[in-house]
Amino acid sequence: MRQSLTLKAYDLIKDEIITCTLEPGQQIAQPQLADRYKLGLTPVREALQRLAQEGFLQTIPRFGYIVTPISVLDVHEIFDLRALLEPEAARQAAIHGSKEDFARIMKASEFSYTPGDRRSISQFVARNAEFHRSIAVVAGNRRLAEAMYKVLDEQTRLFYLGLNLREMTREVFDEHHRIAIAVSRQDPDEAAKTARDEVLRSRDRILDALVSRQSFGGQSAVAVDLRVETRDI
């Protein structure tokens, strides 16, 4: 029973961290979490220990826990990796895909969200990941697809940060649609270029969001030379 309560606390807290309900840099108040979830302090404390081991939280001596800040370096590392993986996935999908595959990719690109609506944003984030994964699957390289899954999971918190701060339904929809069209036309070079352009624009949106919320994680989270955002990848 105690293990199931700890797992429940873990899932609830992790979800609030990933969706930025618990903001980067925010102090964790264990009694408040226990009260909100209707759980005891023990399962909450054990869940927090696990989340700290996994890197979602940081331990501050004589202070407790804070949500791990999001830094400019985090953004660049994640999007550098996406910029390596996604163009190649799009290129290979354009080469190896069938008409049925292209139809599924096109359909998967057609989604949006309602700004400020948490449920709508959650559905959007899930469908965004599924769109990019669908291209990786059609590419036909299992290891490439697995690497894509991992980096997309890592960027989830960054994506919520951007969606929570700025409405970008139209631009994201258009970007996905352009990728789907390029892949469906079986144009490998254009598919790769379009995918890379989308990654870089997405990176810049997240950086803009991070800079506009410098309180996230304290000054250390943004005390990075922002000129690196224009570097070549």
Same domain, 162 and 210: yes
The predicted pLDDT at position 114 comes to 80
Same domain, 108 and 171: yes
| Boundary residue ending a domain (49, 67, 85) | 67
The predicted pLDDT at position 158 comes to 86
| Boundary residue ending a domain (67, 90, 115) | 67
Same domain, 109 and 144: yes
We report the CATH number of the domain holding residue 30 as 1.10.10.10
The predicted pLDDT at position 215 comes to 44
Same domain, 57 and 79: no
Same domain, 34 and 146: no
Same domain, 174 and 85: yes
Encoded amino acid at 99, one letter:
K
Same domain, 121 and 225: yes
Q: How many domains does the chain have?
A: 2
Q: Which residue has the tokens 């943004």?
A: 222
Tokens (6 digits) for 3: 């293990």
The predicted pLDDT at position 209 comes to 76
The predicted pLDDT at position 216 comes to 44
| Boundary residue ending a domain (67, 89, 115) | 67
CA-nearest of 182, 206, 184, 207 to 196 is 182
Same domain, 80 and 155: yes
Same domain, 173 and 145: yes
The predicted pLDDT at position 218 comes to 45
Same domain, 90 and 153: yes
We report the CATH number of the domain holding residue 79 as 1.20.120.530
Contact yes or no for 198/151 (Cβ under 8 A)? no
User: What pLDDT, in 10s, does the model give residues 77-94?
Assistant: 999 999 999 999 999 999
Same domain, 61 and 156: no
The predicted pLDDT at position 228 comes to 44
The predicted pLDDT at position 13 comes to 95
Q: What is the 3-state secondary structure (H, E, C) of 6-44?
A: HHHHHHHHHHHHHCCCCCCCCEECHHHHHHHHCCCHHHH
The predicted pLDDT at position 46 comes to 95
Q: What are phi and psi of 66, to 5 degrees?
A: -130, 155
Same domain, 61 and 103: no
When computed from its CA atoms, the radius of gyration of the chain, rounded to whole angstroms, is: 19
Owning domain of residue 52: 2-67
The mean pLDDT values, 10 residues at a time, for the chain of 233 residues are 84 91 90 92 95 92 89 91 96 97 95 80 88 94 91 85 69 92 97 96 86 53 41 44
The predicted pLDDT at position 214 comes to 58
